């Protein structure tokens, strides 16, 4: 009875850990999806503001001033830098001193004209694709589209990359859950039963684990143990209370122990590898960003504005946002805690 109780407890703990891990990953994916909308909304606001600054720069030259005021140029560069951080847009400066922002061949701001980004969704879930429209023409006229994580950088690209990576982790976790259900179910043509109770009654065991309703399409989110007590553990192959444990069930589990552990180790290795790569990239981007900032502070001479603009443009190529890394690190820390 003690062995059966321990077996049932372990089965429940296994299901709970896999389900909890899937819930953590799903939660961080949901956070990334919410952040996508926020980032795009903020980018649209910054684009409109930059277009207004460009209009002021244009207006200042119309009144015979040789160059726009330093405040206008600072505001132009500040907004351009923020847009680079949000969506990875690259900034160029026209002969008139106005900012032009582009990414993946699409123009976000061109002089006094700003374009609007919109997150494409599938059943309410962001796809990581942004489309470009013009405010005065409405959302029906699309000028182009780009995929975050590859073509679109900045915060939106990082969020897309994390959401896609987390979905891959969930799918592999689903495969692991399915495998556990499969190997802990009786083979075709065979029946597992519980040990006879005091009245000699037995219960047929269809499986030790089950996958309930597929929440958000992810099976690992609903994995559960059917062994809610020691009396539910398959243990006998006859109604005799003195019969030994059902050997075929233990043989089946023993045969699959190593493959399941290898599958789990492979999953954990894949997640660790992704996290290591993202950490290395963040460190690289941070170092480059710091170096370029230092160069920016050292620029001097009559071509100060031109040099600063060039450095700012190159700096924007390497800017990365840390919010995605923080969410991923939280998930990774919980993963390590669960795996112990």
Answer for the pair 101, 47: CB distance below 8 angstroms, yes or no: yes
Q: Cα separation of 266 and 173, whole Å? A: 11
Answer for the pair 56, 72: CB distance below 8 angstroms, yes or no: yes
Concatenate the DSSP letters of all residues of 312-323 into one string.
HHHHHTT---SH
pLDDT number for residue 44: 92
pLDDT per residue rounded down to tens, the chain (340 residues):
677 788 788 888 888 888 888 888 888 888 888 888 999 999 999 999 999 999 988 887 665 566 778 888 889 888 988 888 888 888 888 888 889 988 777 888 988 888 888 888 887 888 888 888 876 666 667 888 888 776 667 888 888 888 888 888 888 888 888 888 888 887 777 777 777 777 777 778 778 888 886 666 688 888 888 888 877 877 765 555 555 556 666 666 777 777 777 888 888 888 888 877 777 766 666 665 666 566 555 554 444 455 555 555 444 444 434 444 444 455 445 444 544 4
pLDDT number for residue 337: 52
Q: Enter the tokens of residue 335.
A: 């993963």
Answer for the pair 319, 285: CB distance below 8 angstroms, yes or no: yes
pLDDT number for residue 327: 47
259-264 own/partner pairs: CB under 8 Å, 24+ apart = 259/179, 260/176, 260/179, 260/180, 260/183, 263/175, 263/176, 263/179, 264/176
Place of tokens 């083979």: 187
Task: Determine the 3-state secondary structure of 119 from DSSP.
Answer: strand
pLDDT number for residue 155: 84
Concatenate the DSSP letters of all residues of 283-295 into one string.
HHHHHHHHHHHHH
């Amino acid at each position: 009875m003690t062995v059966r109780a321990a077996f049932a407890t372990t089965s429940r703990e296994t299901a709970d850990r896999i389900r909890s891990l899937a819930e953590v990953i799903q939660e961080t994916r949901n956070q990334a999806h919410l952040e996508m909308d926020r980032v795009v909304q903020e980018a649209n606001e910054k684009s409109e503001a930059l277009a207004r600054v460009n209009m002021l720069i244009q207006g200042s030259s119309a009144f015979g001033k040789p160059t726009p005021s330093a405040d206008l140029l600072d505001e132009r560069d500040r907004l351009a830098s923020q847009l680079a951080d949000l969506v990875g847009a690259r900034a160029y400066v026209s002969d008139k001193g106005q900012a032009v922002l582009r990414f993946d061949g699409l123009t976000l701001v061109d002089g006094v004209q700003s374009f609007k980004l919109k997150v494409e969704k599938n059943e309410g879930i962001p796809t990581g694709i942004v489309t470009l429209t013009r405010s005065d023409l409405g959302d029906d006229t699309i000028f182009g589209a780009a995929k975050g994580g590859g073509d679109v950088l900045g915060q939106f690209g990082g969020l897309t990359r994390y959401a896609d990576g987390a979905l891959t982790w969930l799918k592999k976790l689903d495969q692991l859950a399915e495998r556990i259900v499969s190997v802990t179910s009786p083979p075709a043509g065979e029946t597992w039963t519980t040990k006879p109770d005091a009245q000699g009654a037995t219960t047929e065991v269809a499986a030790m684990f089950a996958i309930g309703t597929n929440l958000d399409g992810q099976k690992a989110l609903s994995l559960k143990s059917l062994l809610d007590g020691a009396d539910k553990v398959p243990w006998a192959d006859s109604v005799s209370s003195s019969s030994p444990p059902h050997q075929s069930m233990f043989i089946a589990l023993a045969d699959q122990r190593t493959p399941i552990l290898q599958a789990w180790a492979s999953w954990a290795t894949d997640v660790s590898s992704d996290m290591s790569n993202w950490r290395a990239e963040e460190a690289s981007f941070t170092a480059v960003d710091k170096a370029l900032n230092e160069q920016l502070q050292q620029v001097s001479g009559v071509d100060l504005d031109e040099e600063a603009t060039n450095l700012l443009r190159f700096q924007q190529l390497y800017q990365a946002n840390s919010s995605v890394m923080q969410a991923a690190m939280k998930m990774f820390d919980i993963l390590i805690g669960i795996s112990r």
